[in-house]
Structure 1
Amino acid sequence: MNALLKAKSAYSAAKAPTRTAKNFEYEVIARVTRRLIAAAQKGRNGFTELAAALNDNRKLWSIFSADLASKGNPLPDELKLSLFELAEFTRQHTSQVLQRKADVRPLVEINTAIMRGLRGGAS
């Protein structure tokens, strides 16, 4: 590799975007949401995949709840309360979906709304 290529390579790595916490949260939610959608589209044949994606989504919302409850969380109390309520709804609705008594769409819609919020407020 000549000096010019080395310089370009070094510069390219340095200008790579820095991942913020919001970017990371967005990516994780997007990944789980894509899995929920893909599994749901398979119908009955995708139930095992759907159950795994639902489990990961529930874990994700549990992590969000723990973060919301931490003393260092800077979000306004009203927003925290709303997010806690969404987390509780997600927990309960997930159980309903796993029992085949409810549709996964509300969970996808919640995640999508959160992703929009993260994208709109991402720095």
Structure 2
Amino acid sequence: MNQLAQIGYATALAKVETQRETEARILTRLNAGLEHAMAHPDRNIPATVEALHENDRFWAHIAGDLAHEKNALPEALKAALISLAGFVVAHSARVRNRQAGIAPLIEINNAIIRALNATGVQE
């Protein structure tokens, strides 16, 4: 695919996809990496570390966005999601140290995906 086609596709996708849909799509992709890592824990340690790192990056980005003064979500929801982001990053560290499993991270992402995809929720 040439560069102009890629730019055109990205522009079209941005016009069609809402922020909620984008976040749900990203979480789905992250879960695929986490699920692969969970299915093959000792086979490909670098892939597991990469999956954890990408998930952490997403949650750190979300926490930063939630903390921004222009974020319009209710304060209680922002606080809960920032706390959840902290848990995700701390739990990922425990997974990397082989002190915990990946399943809770996948469950959290799935819960957020369900919430993002819920009908009747305003953006």
Matching residue of 2:100: 102
The size of the alignment, in residue pairs, is 108
**Equivalent pair of 1:40/1:47 in contact (CA under 8 Å):** no
Tell me how far apart the structure 1 counterparts of residues 61 and 19 of structure 2 sit (CA, whole Å): 14
**Equivalent pair of 2:34/2:48 in contact (CA under 8 Å):** yes
The TM-score, its normalising length taken from structure 1, stands at 0.82
| Counterpart AA for 1:74 | A
How do 1:52-63 and structure 2 match up within 5 A? 52-63=50-61
| Structure 1 counterpart SS, 2:16 | coil
Structure 1: 5+ residue stretches without partners: 1-13
Structure 1 or 2, whichever has the larger Rg, is: 1
Structure 2: 5+ residue stretches without partners: 1-11
Tell me how far apart the structure 1 counterparts of residues 60 and 16 of structure 2 sit (CA, whole Å): 26
Dislocated runs of 4+, deviation >3 Å? none
- CA change 1:122–1:98 in 2 (3 A) is farther
| Structure 1 counterpart SS, 2:87 | helix
**Equivalent pair of 1:22/1:122 in contact (CA under 8 Å):** no
Tell me how far apart the structure 2 counterparts of residues 74 and 25 of structure 1 sit (CA, whole Å): 16
Q: CA RMSD in A?
A: 1.6
| Counterpart AA for 1:83 | L
| Counterpart AA for 2:62 | F
Alignment match of 2:31 (pick from 27, 30, 33): 33
